[in-house]
Amino acid sequence: MPIEYSIIGGATPNDYYRDLAQSFINQSWDNTAAKTPENGGKIKEQTEIGSDEYKTVDAWVKTTVGDVTTGMRDSGDFIKIYFRDINHIVARGLYYQFYNSWWICNEFDHFSGIAQDAGLRRCNNVLKIVDPENGSVFSVPCVVDYDMSSPSVQVSRYILTPNNHATVMVQGNVNTLRLFKTNTRYVLSGRPFKLYGYQNALNLNLTTDYDTLLYLDLYLDEIHDGDDLVNGVAYNGDYNYKAKINSADMTLSAGSTGTLTVDVVLNGKEVDRPVIWRTSNPEIVTIADTGNYTVIGEVGQSADITVTLSGNEAVTDSIKITVGEQVVEPEIYLDPAFNKIREYQTIEFDVKVFIGGVEIKPDTVRINADSEYLTVEKTTSGWQLTCNKRSAMPLTMSVTIVDKTYNISKTAKFDIQAVSMMG
C-alpha cells in the first residue's frame, strides 16, 4: 500500500524541507568562521566553461586534506566549497578566483545532499601557447600534479638524462581542445615539455560534446631555438601577423561614404582572418564591422580609424580621416557596362573613374565578388569576370578605388545576374 502524504501549505514535503534547509542556511550564514576571511564568503565563479567573465557567489570554504605528513600534499591545495544557494549547480572544470589564486572544480556531485558543494584544486601553474589563428599568447590556469618522476631514466655511456613526466589538469573548452594538440610544447617553470597524450573521454553526461576537465601527459623535452623560458612560452612555429589598411590618410567632405579594406599577412602571405574596426570619435566618422564608413563631422575635425586582428590587439593599423570642404564625388563605371553573365562565361572589362567629368587613374583598384558564383582576376589590360555557376538571386560585385592625390576612397556596387548558358 503506498504511503500517503498531505500537502503542507500548498507544497510537497520535498519542497517544504528544502525551504526549511535554505532558511536555516540563510539565518546561520554570518555565524560561522568557515567563510573566506578575505571577502566575507564571496568568491568569483566563472559564468560558464570557456568564458572570460566571472560572477560573485556566496560560499563557505573548507580544507579536505588533513594529513600532510608526507611533505608532498599541501592541505591548502585541496578544498571544498559549500554554496549558500542549495540549488546552485556547477560543472567539472569550472574556474574560481579567491585567496589570490585560481581554482578548478574537479569534483561535483548533484546527489550529495540538499546543500550543494564542490571539490576544488588550487591551480599552481599556467599553460601558455601561441595561437596560430591570431599570433597572440593563449594562457590558462592549470594544476601540475605533485609527482614528476622519470618513468624511464635514459642512460647513455657517461650521463643519466632525466625523463620527467608531468600530469597536468586543465579546463576542457573550445580553445584548449583546439590548441592543446599532441606534440605541442609548453614551458613549466623554466623547463620545456611536450604533450604526448591526454585524457579527454570523461564526459560529464550524455548531453556534453566534450570533457570539461582534461588530464594532459607532458614529458620533458629539449630546449628549442625560439623557446621563451623567461615568459613561459615554448616555440611551436612562426606566427608573425601584420595588418595593413589599403588606404592612406584621407580628407573627405561631410556625408562621404566608402569601404575600407585591410590585408592581413601571416609570415609574409596574405590570409583571411576576422578583424575589428574602430573609430576614435563616432561623432566625426562612423565605421561598421564591414569597414563601411560615413563622414559626419564638421570641416577641420578628424578621427582615427583603426583595424585590429581579432584576438590580438598587437596586430593593428590606423589611418586618419579629416573632414574637408565639399568636393565632387568620384564616379565609377564598368567599361563595357554589363549586368548579366552566363554560366561559364568570361567577360573582360576595365574600371573607369571620373571626378567632375575628368577621368583619373586611381592608385588602387580592388574588386570583390561572391567567389562561389563569380571569379575576378586582374589582367594586363584590365579585369576579367568568370561565372562559376548560375544564381537565382542577383549577385553583388564591389569596386573600391583609392587615390592619394585626390584623397579619395570610394566603393561602388554593381548588381550582376548569373544566368544559365541559354539565358
| 253 and 321 Cβ atoms separated by less than 8 Å | no
Tens of pLDDT, residues 169-185: 999 999 999 999 999 99
For 126-193, the DSSP string reads: EEEEE-TTTS-EEEEEEEE-S----SS-EE-SS-EEP--EEEEEEE--HHHHHH--TT-EEEETTEEE
* Identity of residue 295: V
* Cα–Cα distance for residue pair 369/376, rounded to 1 Å: 7
In residues, how long is the chain?
423
Q: Where are the domains of the chain?
A: 13-122, 125-220, 241-324, 331-419
CATH of 331-419, one of 3.40.50.1100, 3.30.365.10, 3.40.50.300, 2.60.40.1080: 2.60.40.1080
The whole-angstrom distance between residue 3's C-alpha and the CA centroid of its chain comes to 55
Domains 241-324 and 331-419 share a fold: yes
What pairing do the DSSP bridges indicate for beta strands 269-271 and 213-220?
unpaired
Per-residue pLDDT of the chain (423 residues; tens, 9 = 90+): 455 555 555 667 777 778 888 888 888 787 776 777 677 788 999 999 999 999 999 988 877 765 555 556 677 788 888 888 888 888 889 999 998 899 999 887 666 666 688 899 999 999 999 999 999 999 999 999 887 766 555 555 555 555 688 899 999 999 999 999 999 999 999 999 999 988 766 666 666 667 889 999 999 999 999 999 999 999 999 999 999 998 888 888 888 888 888 999 999 999 999 999 999 999 999 999 999 999 999 999 999 999 999 999 999 999 999 998 876 788 999 999 999 999 999 999 999 999 877 788 999 999 999 889 999 999 999 999 999 999 999 999 999 999 887 778 899 999 999 999 886
Contacts of 193 (CB under 8 A, 6+ apart): 164, 166, 185, 186, 187, 218, 219, 220, 221, 234
Quick one: cell of 228? 621563451
Q: Is the pTM of this model over 0.85?
A: no
CATH of 241-324, one of 2.60.40.1080, 2.40.128.640, 3.40.50.720, 3.30.365.10: 2.60.40.1080
